[in-house]
Chain A
Amino acid sequence: MTAETAVRTGRSAREDIPPERGRGAGLPAAGFLTPFLLLYVLFIIGPALYGLLMSFFDTSAVKPGLSSFAGLGNYAEALQSADFWSSLWHTIWFTILTTPPLIIVAFGLALLADRVKHGRWFFRLAFFAPYILPSAVVALIWIWLYTPGLGLLETGLGKLGITAPAWLGDPDWAMPSLALTTLWWTLGFNFVLYLAGLQEINRDLYEAASMDGASPWQQIRSITIPMLGRTTTLVAVLQVIASLKVFDQMYLMTSGGPNFATRSILQYVYDEGFTNFRIGYASAVSMLFFLVVLGVSAVWFALIRRQEKEV
């Protein structure tokens, strides 16, 4: 029947749509699609296009309409603005500080958890529970941990004979401190992805390897790590995109300070658009940020294509 459908409609057999459903489904389809498409166009696609349009105008939040046409003026201004580049750099610096540990620690812990037979629920709880908390809760707890003179981290390190830095108060340490908080907060997501990837690996491979006398460490190096290539690509790209979108941690824990040392690109958009009311300019910055995220996604697709060819 599938083949017959394919012949009749000239489409591939994989589409697998029975012929009786094929006729006259345009009207019901419109009915099913309308609720989603209406909201989608109204609140996603519409604003996206309107944002693009505003980025070419000197639109102000306190005046109605688009105001005067600016051409590429907003973009040129952003690209020449030291504040734009420094906030973009802070976002990238945050991404550099968070991505490697969030991949390596998650991978390492998942690897360990995969060998442990009992009490997996406990590890899942310990590593994943923070991920589900609102950023505001995480911020309150970590500001307390970082509090100078009273914080658990300073006291704990002091007992080990280490002098703690000023954490959030030191322009050089503020970003690493935010990265540490983020590691604690979001590790669980990557941990779960890696656990799922590990469970996909055929156990017979390990058995065969240990028959041949391979040590656990050799098994990890020659079986586990190569088999997790696809998972690692996924984790890495999702992580880079998530880190680039950082806003909450800085807004809540440092307000972009000290001395703007941790202002992210999204907070720059927020400041320009909602404090300085320059929404045309803020839209242009949003578009530039969008291009960066799009670029990362494009690299991801290229990597997946290559991996699929190799398989």
Chain B
Amino acid sequence: MSIETRVKLFNRICAGVLIAFALLWLMPLLWALDTALKPNAETTRTTWLIDDPTLGAFSRTLRETDILRWFGSSLFIATLTAVGAVLTGSLAAYALSRLRFRHRNLVFWFVLAGIMIPGQVLIVPQFREMDSFGLLNTFWAVSLPQIPTAIAVFIFKQFFDGLPRELEEVARMDGAGFLRIYRRIIMPLARPAVAAVAIFTFVGSWNDLLWPLLVLSNPDIMTVPVGLATVQGSFGIRYADTMASAILGAIPLVAVFLLFQRNIVEGIAGTGLKG
């Protein structure tokens, strides 16, 4: 065999193995969908074939659970968190990147220290704090501790440091203030960083379980993960209904993923290159 045919054969085998793994990885999601399309009684037969396909499980889930309300809670909390993280993070990063002031490095290191603290370590004191503020069972209790993320400041600062300064100098000479420069020049240029921070904060906030589980005990304002955690118990052996609720719970994030695939993948790849 010539080298060329050997390489071609090798690439074929690679593609084959990869496709097999990809199908294996899609299997749980497809099986969940398959189960959700069966009537509950049919789910006890482990087969991909569906005798009597129905959307009944989905309509029952929508009727019997508060899943639409959970969507509302999650959407509000995740949006508030993402907007807050982008705004506070970019403002702070602008000062750290462009302004000269005393103890600038000290402030930067103080912020960086936050990256080392895993949020999970803080649940006990944060809970007591929210309790004493009277904020338990409010959206604020979930969102506020998630807004100041040191990593967002870090990402924005890296990005701002890489932007050319000429435009700002011209604007300065025309008498523009810092806030105007931040709003009109820096932020429009920083779209990729805004997208990365916004998407990651949004998804992280949407998916968080431990913290909302602690501070939201009122079923009326539960987030999607907290609500879904109660489904297993309430649906029991109604497997089609359980899978329908899992799929409904997955849909918003699958949509986010399909819309922002490029930003998400590049955002993760970015951490790798910085590493």
Q: Which residues of A contact B (CB under 8 A)?
A: 16-18, 20-23, 25-26, 28-33, 35-37, 39-40, 42-48, 50-51, 54, 61, 109, 112-113, 115-116, 121-130, 132-137, 139-145, 147, 150-152, 155, 184, 187, 189, 192-193, 195-197, 200, 210, 213, 215-217, 230-231, 233-234, 241, 245, 247-248, 251-252, 266, 269-270, 273-274, 279, 282-283, 286-287, 289-290, 293-294, 297, 304
Which residues of chain B are near A140, meaning CB under 8 Å? 32, 228, 231-232, 242-243, 245-246, 249
Residues in B160-182 with C-beta less than 8 Å from chain A: 165, 169, 172, 177-179, 182
10 residue pairs, one from A and one from B, having the closest CB atoms:
A196-B269, A136-B228, A32-B95, A36-B92, A126-B22, A234-B275, A47-B125, A40-B148, A51-B125, A36-B88
Q: How far in angstroms is the closest Cβ of chain A from B17?
A: 6
A145 CA / B31 CA spacing, docked (Å): 9
B26 within 8 A of A: yes
Which residues of chain B are near A113, meaning CB under 8 Å? 18
Residues in B98-120 with C-beta less than 8 Å from chain A: 98-102, 104, 107, 111, 114, 116-118, 120
Which residues of chain A are near B107, meaning CB under 8 Å? 33, 37
Residues in B22-44 with C-beta less than 8 Å from chain A: 22-23, 25-29, 31-32, 35, 43-44
A181 CA / B227 CA spacing, docked (Å): 21
Q: Which of B28, B226, B253 contacts A132 (CB 8 A)?
A: B253
B148–A144 CB distance below 8 A: no
A294–B246 CB distance below 8 A: no
Task: Return 16 A-B CB contacts under 8 Å, by A number.
Answer: A20-B172, A35-B92, A39-B84, A40-B148, A50-B128, A61-B128, A109-B18, A134-B228, A139-B229, A230-B275, A234-B271, A251-B210, A251-B213, A283-B124, A287-B121, A289-B121
Which residues of chain B are near A192, meaning CB under 8 Å? 265, 268-269
Which residues of chain A are near B17, meaning CB under 8 Å? 112
B99–A25 CB distance below 8 A: yes
Which residues of chain B are near A152, meaning CB under 8 Å? 27-28, 31, 46
Binary contact readout B256-275 vs A (1 if CB under 8 angstroms, 0 otherwise): 11000100110011011101
B55 within 8 A of A: no
B114–A33 CB distance below 8 A: no
Q: How far in angstroms is the closest Cβ of chain A from B203?
A: 6
Q: How far in angstroms is the closest Cβ of chain B from A275?
A: 12
A216–B7 CB distance below 8 A: yes
A283 CA / B210 CA spacing, docked (Å): 16
A44–B46 CB distance below 8 A: no
B94 within 8 A of A: yes
Q: Which residues of B contact A (CB under 8 A)?
A: 3, 6-7, 10-11, 14-15, 17-18, 21-23, 25-29, 31-32, 35, 43-44, 46, 84, 87-89, 91-92, 94-96, 98-102, 104, 107, 111, 114, 116-118, 120-129, 144-145, 147-148, 150, 153, 165, 169, 172, 177-179, 182, 203, 206-207, 209-210, 213-214, 224-229, 231-232, 239, 242-243, 245-246, 249-250, 253-254, 256-257, 261, 264-265, 268-269, 271-273, 275
Q: Which of B44, B153, B275 contacts A231 (CB 8 A)?
A: B275
Which residues of chain A are near B44, meaning CB under 8 Å? 150
Which residues of chain A are near B165, meaning CB under 8 Å? 16, 18
Most buried by A among B88, B214, B245: B88
Q: Which of A35, A126, A286 contacts B121 (CB 8 A)?
A: A286
Which residues of chain B are near A293, meaning CB under 8 Å? 118, 121
Q: Which of B10, B243, B249 contacts A134 (CB 8 A)?
A: B249
